[in-house]
């Protein structure tokens, strides 16, 4: 027993024998797997030999979202890489830009889970990026929820091996070939057939680029104002939920509205849904982008044409960013109730709305939008007149 323990410790003290350099935007799990393959070991065996004794259970967790300072330290020591370089490969390093502080074991909605029964199979990738790589590797951005397509190669990401339909799981690789070889049937993932995104979808690629740029510089430009990227990403899910109204959605100026409705219809009819879901997610992402273009016109039109109230935008939204709250306060009038308080900002928002729609702005029309009687509601009349005077 004593001897065995000594043996284990002896192995643990070793430095890694081959240390691949981390590639731009590489995922931690991709780098670790490349290193394991260099050592002619499976990922879990490599872990057990060099990093910790519980290799098997460690490698079955989401290594890219794991927050384990001890592990980061060990990896830094044994690879002689700076700990910052190790940390940069973890999805945790996007905290503050892509998501707010998160002490949960599971990634927030901005990051795709490794498997999601409804939307995709496993880790996603662009076969053409893999093909162009001198050393094929997996990127962090392929796990971001908004990143459904590769703008460079104009194709949707893929979530499996197209020969055997297996998902991509590094911990299951037993061959000692490259990372881009399917663990099960050993087909080269770089050879997967891809279909180019047709020109009517190119608006969606613009959206992916917009989100990517916002994330990389830490802010978005909306109506010439800088908005912290994390505020936009924290609001993303709520907006996408509101937009996903299927056949009922009124968003006529959105360039892919017909494609969206078509997919929703097909999703109701077909059994094999995952490939279509990726496309649907891609379109929903571009709809969120659309809301922030021609600001605030598209946003306001969306609310009015779909009869969405103030409450719809804020209800059940946990940890709502102040920026989002203020935007909704400014653009969406509060709900229609008799004799309720009416604020000046509601009247201002109603006037703004009417102007954008090129409609007549007068006491009657404004009161209709606010939802009160145009001569009886004293508070409204007083405030409307005051505002009118000051303009
Ligand atoms: Zn690509
Ligand atoms: Zn396969």
Q: Separation of 140 CA from ligand 2 center, angstroms? A: 22
Collapsing DSSP states into helix, strand and coil, what is residue 1? coil
Neighbours of ion ligand 2 (CB under 5 A): 161, 163-164, 166, 182, 184-185, 187
Q: Separation of 169 CA from ligand 1 center, angstroms? A: 20
Q: Separation of 188 CA from ligand 2 center, angstroms? A: 8
What does pLDDT average to over the chain?
Answer: 89
Quick: pLDDT tens for 198-238: 888 899 999 999 999 999 999 999 999 999 999 999 999 99
Quick: pLDDT tens for 246-277: 999 999 999 999 999 999 998 888 766 666 78
Beta bridge partners of 139: 26
Q: Separation of 267 CA from ligand 2 center, angstroms? A: 26
Q: Separation of 125 CA from ligand 1 center, angstroms? A: 8
Residue 252 corresponds to which tokens in the numbers above? 């006529």
Q: Which ligand is nearest to the CA of 128?
A: 1
Q: Separation of 226 CA from ligand 1 center, angstroms? A: 29
The per-residue pLDDT for 257 is 95
CB-based contacts of 355, cutoff 8 Å, min separation 6: 361
The per-residue pLDDT for 3 is 47
* Predicted confidence (pLDDT) at residue 6 exceeds the cutoff of 60: no
Q: Which ligand is nearest to the CA of 158?
A: 1
Residue 386 corresponds to which tokens in the numbers above? 């005051």
Quick: pLDDT tens for 382-391: 888 888 887 6
Quick: pLDDT tens for 147-162: 999 999 999 999 999 8
d(CA 238, CA 61): 28
Q: Which ligand is nearest to the CA of 181?
A: 2
Sheet strands (E) in the chain = 149-150, 155-156, 219-222, 225-228
Collapsing DSSP states into helix, strand and coil, what is residue 137? coil
Q: Separation of 86 CA from ligand 1 center, angstroms? A: 24
The per-residue pLDDT for 291 is 97
d(CA 327, CA 320): 11
* Predicted confidence (pLDDT) at residue 71 exceeds the cutoff of 60: yes
Do 247 and 264 contact (CB within 8 A), yes or no? yes
> Considering the entire predicted model, what is its pTM?
0.83
Q: Separation of 154 CA from ligand 1 center, angstroms? A: 7
Q: Separation of 228 CA from ligand 1 center, angstroms? A: 27
* Predicted confidence (pLDDT) at residue 32 exceeds the cutoff of 50: yes
Q: Which ligand is nearest to the CA of 121?
A: 2
Residue 122 corresponds to which tokens in the numbers above? 């496993």
User: How many residues appear in the chain?
Assistant: 391
| Cα 264 to Cα 222, 267, 320, distances in angstroms | 29, 5, 29
Beta bridge partners of 81: none
Can you tell me the mean pLDDT for 53-65?
84
Q: Separation of 165 CA from ligand 2 center, angstroms? A: 6
Percent with pLDDT over 90 in the chain = 61
Residue 204 corresponds to which tokens in the numbers above? 């969606």
Q: Separation of 391 CA from ligand 2 center, angstroms? A: 68
Can you tell me the mean pLDDT for 102-114?
85
* Predicted confidence (pLDDT) at residue 132 exceeds the cutoff of 90: yes
Quick: pLDDT tens for 324-383: 999 998 888 775 544 567 888 888 999 988 898 888 899 888 888 887 777 777 788 888
Angle value at C-alpha 285, between 126 and 226, nearest 5 degrees: 110
Q: Per the omega criterion (within 30 degrees of 0), is the bond before 384 cis?
A: no
* Predicted confidence (pLDDT) at residue 1 exceeds the cutoff of 50: no
Do 43 and 172 contact (CB within 8 A), yes or no? no
Angle, nearest 10°, between helix axes 378-390 and 363-370? Answer: 120
Can you tell me the mean pLDDT for 89-100?
95
Count CB atoms within 10 A of the CB of residue 383: 18
Can you tell me the mean pLDDT for 114-143?
92
109 vs 214, residue with greater confidence: 214
Q: Which ligand is nearest to the CA of 157?
A: 1
Can you tell me the mean pLDDT for 176-196?
91
The per-residue pLDDT for 243 is 97
Q: Which ligand is nearest to the CA of 130?
A: 1
The per-residue pLDDT for 2 is 44
Q: Separation of 271 CA from ligand 2 center, angstroms? A: 22
Neighbours of ion ligand 1 (CB under 5 A): 126, 128-129, 150, 152-153
Residue 55 corresponds to which tokens in the numbers above? 């290799």
Q: Separation of 330 CA from ligand 2 center, angstroms? A: 52
Percent with pLDDT over 70 in the chain = 93
């Amino acid at each position: 027993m004593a001897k065995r323990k000594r043996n284990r410790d002896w192995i643990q003290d070793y430095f890694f024998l081959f240390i691949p350099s981390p590639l731009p935007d590489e995922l931690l799990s991709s780098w670790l797997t490349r290193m394991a393959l260099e050592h002619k070991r499976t990922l879990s065996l490599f872990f057990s030999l060099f990093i910790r004794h519980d290799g098997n259970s460690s490698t079955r967790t989401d290594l890219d979202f794991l927050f384990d300072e001890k592990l980061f330290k060990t990896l830094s020591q044994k690879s002689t890489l700076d700990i910052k370089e190790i940390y940069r490969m973890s999805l945790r390093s996007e905290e503050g830009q892509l998501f707010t502080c998160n002490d949960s074991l599971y990634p927030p909605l901005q990051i795709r889970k490794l498997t999601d029964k409804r939307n995709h199979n496993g880790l996603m990738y662009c076969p053409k990026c893999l093909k162009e790589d001198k050393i094929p590797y997996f990127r962090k951005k392929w796990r971001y929820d908004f990143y459904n397509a590769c703008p460079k190669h104009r194709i949707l990401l893929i979530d499996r091996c197209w020969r055997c339909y297996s998902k991509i799981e590094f911990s299951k690789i037993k061959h000692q070939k490259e990372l881009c070889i399917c663990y099960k049937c050993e087909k080269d993932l770089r050879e997967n057939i891809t279909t180019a995104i047709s020109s009517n979808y190119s608006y969606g690629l613009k959206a992916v680029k917009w989100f990517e740029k916002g994330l990389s510089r830490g802010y978005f430009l909306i109506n010439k104002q800088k908005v912290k990227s994390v505020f936009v990403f924290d609001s993303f899910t709520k907006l996408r939920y509101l937009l996903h109204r299927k056949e009922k959605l009124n968003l006529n100026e959105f360039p892919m509205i017909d494609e969206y409705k078509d997919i929703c219809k097909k999703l109701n009819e077909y059994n094999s849904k995952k490939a279509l879901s990726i496309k649907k997610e891609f379109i929903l992402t571009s709809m969120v982008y659309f809301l922030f273009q021609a600001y605030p016109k598209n946003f306001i039109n969306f609310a009015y044409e779909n009869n969405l109230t103030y409450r719809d935008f804020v209800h059940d939204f946990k940890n709502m960013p102040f920026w989002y709250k203020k935007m909704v306060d400014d653009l969406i009038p509060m709900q229609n109730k008799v004799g309720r308080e009416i604020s000046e900002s509601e009247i201002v928002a109603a006037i703004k709305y009417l102007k954008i729609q090129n409609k007549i702005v007068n006491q009657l029309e404004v009161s209709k939008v606010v939802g009160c009687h145009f001569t009886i509601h004293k508070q409204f009349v007083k405030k409307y007149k005051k505002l009118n005077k000051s303009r």
